Amino acid sequence: MDYKKMTETRQSCRAFDPVRTPDRAVLTQVLEAARLAPSACNSQPYHFYVAVDGTARAVGAATQSLGMNKFAGDCPAFIVVAEQPYNRSAAVGAKLKDQDYRAADIGLAVSQLVYRAHELGLSTCILGWFDEKTLQALLNTNARVRLIIAIGYARADDALRTKKRKSLEELVTWL
């Protein structure tokens, strides 16, 4: 699949097949795509925790509250992205330029991960709604949890949706 087609057909999955868990080999391939992502000063300020089976159920439960992310109960695997410290040069750059490069770095790594997953026939949903304290206890870390990727195989009835996006006119100013 070419990249244009990938950007047109990747979509957030909220209908996972609960009994089809991605195996370690395929999850390793998607993690390898994240590993190759660019980051400010090559700092790579992230760590990925992979949860399947019992831990996946615990992670899924931690993403559900106030009616949000009910579908996550069916997802057989999750990748939890925890923020790590900058390296020295990224820390200096972020301070001097008053920028949060780590948010950008994590976004880029997650983007590479979800597109590689899509290429491999997996489906994903990036989750920003979760109980961070519960997850930190589960992972035994004090690191900030920034994103979770629900990952698995979509159910057969999960149809391709039309993308709702702002127009290029709204999004772009040509200078």
Ligand X SMILES: Cc1cc2nc3c(=O)[nH]c(=O)nc-3n(C[C@H](O)[C@H](O)[C@H](O)COP(=O)(O)O)c2cc1C
**In the complex, minimum distance from the CB of residue 163 to ligand X, in angstroms, rounded to a whole number:** 6
**In the complex, minimum distance from the CB of residue 48 to ligand X, in angstroms, rounded to a whole number:** 16
Nearer to ligand X, 70 or 88 (CB): 70
Residue numbers at the binding site for ligand X (CB under 6 A): 11-12, 14, 69, 125-129, 147, 163
Give the chain's length. 175
- C-alpha 132/C-alpha 58 separation (Å) is 12
Q: Please, are residues 121 and 156 in contact by the beta-carbon 8 Å criterion?
A: no
Nearer to ligand X, 93 or 131 (CB): 131
Nearer to ligand X, 39 or 146 (CB): 146
End-to-end CA distance of the chain: 33
User: Residue 108, exposed/middle/buried by CB under 10 A (0-12, 13-18, 19+)?
Assistant: middle
**In the complex, minimum distance from the CB of residue 30 to ligand X, in angstroms, rounded to a whole number:** 16
Task: Tell me the torsion sign for CA atoms 112, 118, 121, 126.
Answer: positive
**In the complex, minimum distance from the CB of residue 129 to ligand X, in angstroms, rounded to a whole number:** 3
Nearer to ligand X, 94 or 147 (CB): 147
